[in-house]
Amino acid sequence: GWPTLTDSTCSRLFYILLHLGASAVCCLLLSRTVVERVWGSEHGIQMPAGLCAHLFGYTDCPVLSGSGAVYRVCAGTAMFHLLQAVLLVHLHSPTSPRAQLHNSFWLLKLLFLLGLCAVAFCIPDEHLFPAWHYIGICGGFTFILLQLVLITAFAHSWNKNWQAGAAQHCSWFLAVLLTTLGFYSMAGVGAVFLFHHYTHPAGCLLNKMLLSLHLCFCGLLTFLSIAPCTRLKQPRSGLLQASIISCYIMYLTFSALSSRPPERVILQGQNLTLCLPGLSGMEPQTPDTSLAVLSAGIMYACVLFACNEASYLAEVFGPLWIIKVYSHEFQKPSLCFCCPETVEPEDGQRGGTVKQDDQETPLAPPVQAQHLSYSYSAFHFVFFLASLYVMVTLTNWFSYEGAELEKTFTKGSWATFWVKVASCWACVLLYVGLLLAPLCWSPTLDSQSPIFRRQCHQISVTR
């Protein structure tokens, strides 16, 4: 029904805006330009004498800016979502009193979030950084792995859905062909763009090697996707999923190369800054902030996609959704390939206690009243991980000392570069494992498909 859908959508929108606002505040606190304008001695806000010493133990309130401020804001945001994730565990009904904790009390929750951030600002650096830094690193890596699982599941589901249609009608085959060509074209254009802007004849050897290696990875994934041994166990494996993963690999490569420090060489008596998009030829290159902003925007879009999609899949497939989402088989093709709710359940499998001759219409209100459209607990837990991911990304992961927003998006750091390169390699390994695992182990999940179809129908009514 419409009220539940509206409550669900408004709740997600509120938490997305809340997380977006917290991330924006972190960017402002990490920016040297903003900090000098706000807290500078000439034009900034002057704190009362003794207040900083009383609250933070310093005379100039250093915790209100820099990586320390980002750590504290993200600590408050992360604990805000973690507490709600714990309180909403095993919640499956929107009519439960605990569901109101997720869908109501907006003003109180906003004040509670501000209170958590205020408490974090009162924690001394020597007590905050050692522990919270490693927690942030672990949470950031976990979120990256979650993103990789979601993108591979996204490609896998899209391919299986449309391949099911291609076997039935030529129009679906044409859609698969055009989409595959489109993704491979984007990957090819991306590779040409990266070779043109991130390499130079006088240097950038690491960039050249990395681009060549990742292109070889794309070729390997393409071959494995259509190899006879793969299609023996996965008849619907094809080039569509390989093209999607290849395009994502090019994005991860672009993100990594945009995050590395520039390379300086002396060529014909000129001191050149290479390996960054900027001026061409023999002129010194300058960082292009527009590409950095584009990379950051795509990154945050992936964050929001992961938070929403993971919570939905957790409700549909249960706690083991990371495994079950790969084994699901689509019965009918659909344009909404990313949501298993579009699968048409069989008539005799729409409820455990419902007879085959029962009608759908009388069952809609009870189903809506008893089932969530997405897992509230998983939603908040993924946002908890997302807060840690944003924290370590803005503060250059392992080298958080002296982190500044201007340097993060224009000068880069080797720590961020290698983290993104490692995430790209992990994506390749995950996809190769997805293709080759059925050759070693082929579980029988037929007994679980009726349960999924019933749950899929119930979730589709509430969304």
Per residue of the chain (463 residues), give pLDDT as tens. Answer: 334 445 667 888 889 899 999 998 988 888 877 777 766 555 445 555 555 655 555 555 655 677 888 999 999 999 999 999 999 888 877 778 888 888 888 899 999 999 999 888 888 777 777 888 899 999 999 999 988 888 888 888 888 878 777 777 788 888 889 999 999 999 999 999 999 888 888 778 899 999 999 999 999 999 999 888 888 888 878 888 899 999 999 999 998 888 888 777 766 666 666 677 654 444 444 455 666 677 778 878 888 888 777 777 776 666 666 666 666 666 666 666 555 554 444 343 333 333 344 444 444 444 444 567 778 888 899 999 999 999 998 888 887 777 777 677 667 788 888 999 999 999 999 999 888 888 876 554 444 444 444 444 444 444 4
| Residues pairing with 265 in the sheet | 272
Listed in sequence order, the DSSP H helices in 318-448 are: 321-327, 364-370, 376-394, 405-410, 414-440
Q: How many CB atoms lie within 10 A of CB 161?
A: 28
Which sign does the torsion angle of CA 35, 39, 45, 49 carry? positive
Q: 265: part of which helix (H) or strand (E)?
A: strand 263-267
**Cα pseudo-dihedral 255, 437, 339, 391, rounded to 10:** -30
Contacts 24+ apart (CB under 8 A), 287-293: 287/262, 287/410, 287/411, 289/409, 289/410, 291/258, 292/258, 292/409, 292/410, 293/409
What is the pTM (predicted TM-score) of this model?
0.78
Question: How far apart, in Å, do the first and last CA atoms of the chain sit?
Answer: 8
Nearest to 117 by CA among 73, 81, 83, 80: 73
Burial of 432 (0-12, 13-18, 19+ CB in 10 A): middle
